[in-house]
């Protein structure tokens, strides 16, 4: 098997190409001419000259743009060998006019960044003997080409009775990629416009989220209907007052500013530590001393800047995190008795790593509600003996704004254990035991 | 004994190596010096930028932890790693110029892998980031059709990494994964 000369590539990139080539051509050897301090073609030693094909990074070879001089230097360097030219610049000129190549000399330009499928397609063109002989036979075929994103050549796999796992994974990945094959430039344009790629939009599992009722659009009355015992909690009363106050609010405690909260944007700015806030806000006597002042968003920004100055950035916290911690203080002394059901869907996971009052069951419930709407009653049945933790989770996620209430028919029934999952379930259990 | 894989990806400096180290039972090694069958298969002649660690479970199963840079030119490794993979832990630098754009880039690059497995996102360097980064990333994940499994995380903290991985596991099989505790 012939040797391939890798010119001007970084070590990781050359290594990746070697692994990629090794999977298809196990006996292939490579020789590297490393990237030098200057952008120029390196000198070839004897081993380099003996290589029968090349992969060249045009930029590090000092050939970013195609000129008569760089073209002549390249052709001299190649000495009629087939090559892949890695080009960063779409206007470099290397993909325009054909190069003055020899009769069987394939030269393939691959634009960077490239995928392994694109590079593999180029390698097949220069390394596959059958492909080369076909190219000689059909002399009219273009000598300078760019590989398609997912060429048939790249998907060709040797006939073997039992394929290794990585090969099967590769084939599966390529099959999955096929419907998503779009011209590279179109995909890049879509990405640059901030749009999801077509494959994402067409993803079958991407189920449209049902319309939900959030903290600012009516979730609290729903919650209070299901858990009427919350109505008398001082913090709940204060929360309703804050929500009724509008987009932003300044909370004063004994005529001093305790915090500024912008419910609409989801932040709170305060110089007080959590224990002090708890002392103030979860007792009736504390809440009685609280006065609220409605603010516009712009006024809230101004107050925060005036109050905290350069520390403004550090004093601003996500409102959902603070709310979770405040509300969680109720629960050790509170037993909830639901009057009906709630259907929950998480807009985002609670910020678990920053919350003190969370347990593994919260993580598990959050994962379930993030994937699809869930019935609180069904979840409670799923975890017998831990119903209070399920109710607590529902209250915390709704009041912190992480969850929405969804229509009843959008919730999934709780899943029943499947016998066939036993092995994986055992693994999950072992892993979770280890983690927590 | 079954072997599962867990992949950590993210931009340079996001904390992939540290995250793998936080969970691994062995010192994190690069593929240069690893001598297991698994990584030997990935590496023929040279270093391909990748960190490697192992979690050994009480039931005898193992979770192999891989930290990869995730550049497009290494995407063939994702295909290799997809076999028996649990999913992707994507670490984003919260103080980067545009963490949401970073998310979009990684999800686009590895969508096939993510769809076959699962995804959880950790926002690192959160103390230097704005309060809004996590919420912006969550919104973008929703718009990409993904569960918004994102939280702030310090890769040095085993507890934080355990929470991320636990979220990923429960996301794969939320109820049947087994009630903890």
Answer yes or no: pTM beyond 0.90.
Answer: no
Q: β-strands A267-270, B62-68: how paired? A: unpaired
Q: What CATH topology corresponds to A3-156?
A: Rossmann fold (3.40.50)
Measured distance CA(B155)–CA(B153) in Å, rounded: 6
Chain B interface includes A198 (CB < 8 A):
no
For residue B40, list chain A residues with Cβ-Cβ distance below 8 A.
none
- Least reliable range by pLDDT among A5-14, A45-54, A172-181: A172-181
Measure the N-to-C terminal CA separation of chain B; round to a whole number of Å.
24
Band of the pLDDT at B46, cuts 50, 70, 90?
Answer: very low
Give the DSSP letter string of A151-188. -HHHH-----SS--HHHHHHHHHHHHHGGG---HHHHH
Residue A433 pLDDT level (bands cut at 50, 70, 90)? confident
Distance between CA atoms of residues A262 and A250, nearest Å? 9
Cis peptide before A108 (omega within 30 of 0): no
Q: Is A229 helix (H, G, I), strand (E, B) or coil?
A: helix
| Chain A, window 228-287: residues with a beta carbon less than 8 angstroms from a chain B beta carbon | 265-267
How far is Cα A75 from Cα A86, in angstroms, rounded to an integer? Answer: 15
Query: Under an 8 A CB cutoff, do B47 and A19 touch?
Result: no
Note the ipTM here. Answer: 0.82
**What 3-state DSSP class applies to A420?**
helix
E strands of A149-307, at which residues? 248-253, 256-262, 267-270, 290-295
What value does the mean pLDDT of chain A take?
76
CA distances from B84 to A177, A228, B140, B147 (A): 19, 47, 28, 21
Domains contained in chain B, CATH given: 3-171 (3.40.50.300)
B4 neighbors B61 (Cβ within 8 angstroms): yes
Size of interface A-B (CB pairs under 8 A): 249
Cα distances (Å, whole numbers) of residue A53 to A48, A140, A345, A374: 10, 22, 57, 59
Confidence of residue A151 (pLDDT cuts 50, 70, 90): very low
Is-contact B43 B81, C-beta < 8 A? no
**Which DSSP category does A5 fall into?**
E
Measured in degrees and rounded to the nearest 5, phi and psi for residue B3 equal: -115, 125
Predicted pLDDT of residue A425: 63
Percent of chain A's residues with pLDDT above 90 = 21
Q: Is A194 left (phi over 0), alpha (psi -120 to 50) or beta?
A: left
Radius of gyration of chain A (CA): 32
A349 Cα to chain B: minimum distance (Å):
5
Contact B48 A383 (CB under 8 A): no
A181–chain B Cβ distance below 8 A for any pair: no
- Asked if A375 and A226 count as a contact pair (C-beta separation under 8 A), the reply is no
Contact B181 A359 (CB under 8 A): yes
């Amino acid at each position: 098997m012939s040797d391939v000369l890798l010119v001007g590539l970084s070590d990781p990139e050359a290594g990746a190409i070697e692994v990629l080539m090794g999977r298809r051509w196990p006996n292939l050897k490579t020789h590297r001419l490393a990237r030098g301090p200057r952008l120029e073609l390196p000198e070839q030693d004897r081993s380099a000259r003996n290589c029968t094909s090349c992969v060249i990074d045009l930029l590090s070879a000092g050939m970013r743009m195609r000129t008569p001089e760089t073209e002549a230097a390249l052709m001299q360097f190649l000495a009629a060998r087939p090559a892949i030219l890695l080009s960063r610049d779409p206007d470099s000129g290397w993909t325009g006019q054909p190069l003055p190549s020899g009769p069987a000399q394939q030269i393939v330009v691959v634009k960077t960044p490239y995928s392994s499928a694109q590079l593999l397609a180029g390698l097949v063109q220069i390394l596959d003997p059958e492909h080369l002989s076909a190219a000689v036979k059909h002399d009219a075929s273009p000598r300078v080409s760019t590989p398609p994103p997912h060429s048939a050549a790249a998907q060709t796999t040797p006939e073997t009775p039992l394929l290794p796992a990585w090969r099967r994974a590769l084939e599966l990945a390529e099959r999955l990629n096929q419907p998503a094959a779009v011209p590279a430039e179109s995909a890049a344009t879509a990405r640059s416009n901030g749009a999801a790629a077509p494959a994402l939009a067409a993803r079958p599992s991407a189920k449209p989220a049902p319309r939900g009722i959030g903290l600012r659009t009516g979730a609290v009355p729903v919650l209070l209907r299901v858990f009427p015992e919350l109505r008398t909690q001082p913090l709940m009363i204060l929360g309703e007052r804050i929500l009724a106050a509008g987009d932003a609010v300044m909370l004063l405690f004994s005529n001093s500013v305790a915090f500024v909260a912008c419910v609409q944007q989801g932040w709170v700015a305060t110089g007080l530590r959590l224990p002090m806030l708890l002392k103030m806000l979860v007792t009736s006597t504390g809440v009685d001393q609280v006065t609220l002042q409605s603010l516009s968003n712009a006024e809230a920004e101004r107050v925060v800047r005036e109050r905290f100055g350069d520390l403004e950035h550090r004093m601003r916290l996500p409102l959902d995190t603070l709310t979770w911690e405040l509300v969680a203080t109720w629960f050790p002394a509170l037993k909830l008795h639901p009057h009906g059901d709630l259907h929950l869907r998480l807009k985002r996971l609670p910020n678990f790593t920053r919350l003190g009052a969370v347990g593994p069951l919260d993580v598990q419930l959050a994962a379930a509600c993030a994937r699809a709407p869930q019935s609180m009653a069904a979840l409670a049945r799923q975890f017998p003996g831990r119903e209070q933790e399920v109710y607590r989770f529902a209250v915390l996620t709704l009041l912190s704004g992480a969850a929405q209430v969804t229509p009843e028919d959008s919730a999934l029934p709780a899943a029943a254990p499947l016998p066939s999952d036993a092995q994986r379930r055992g693994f999950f259990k072992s892993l979770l035991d280890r983690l927590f | 004994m079954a072997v599962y894989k867990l992949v950590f990806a993210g931009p340079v400096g996001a904390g992939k190596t540290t995250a793998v180290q936080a969970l691994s039972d062995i010192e994190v090694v690069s593929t240069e010096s690893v001598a297991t069958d698994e990584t030997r298969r990935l590496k023929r002649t040279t270093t391909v930028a990748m960190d490697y660690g192992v979690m050994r479970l009480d039931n005898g199963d193992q979770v192999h932890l891989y930290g990869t840079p995730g550049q497009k030119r290494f995407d063939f490794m994702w295909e290799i790693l997809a076999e028996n993979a649990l999913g992707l832990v994507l670490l984003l630098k919260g103080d980067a110029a545009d963490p949401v754009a970073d998310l979009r880039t990684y999800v686009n690059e590895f969508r096939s892998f993510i769809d076959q497995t699962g995804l959880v996102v950790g926002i690192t360097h959160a103390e230097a980031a704005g309060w809004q980064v996590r919420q912006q990333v969550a919104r973008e994940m929703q718009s990409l059709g993904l569960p918004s499994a994102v939280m702030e995380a310090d890769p040095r903290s085993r507890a934080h990494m355990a929470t991320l991985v636990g979220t990923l596991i429960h996301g794969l099989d939320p109820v049947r994964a087994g009630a903890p505790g």
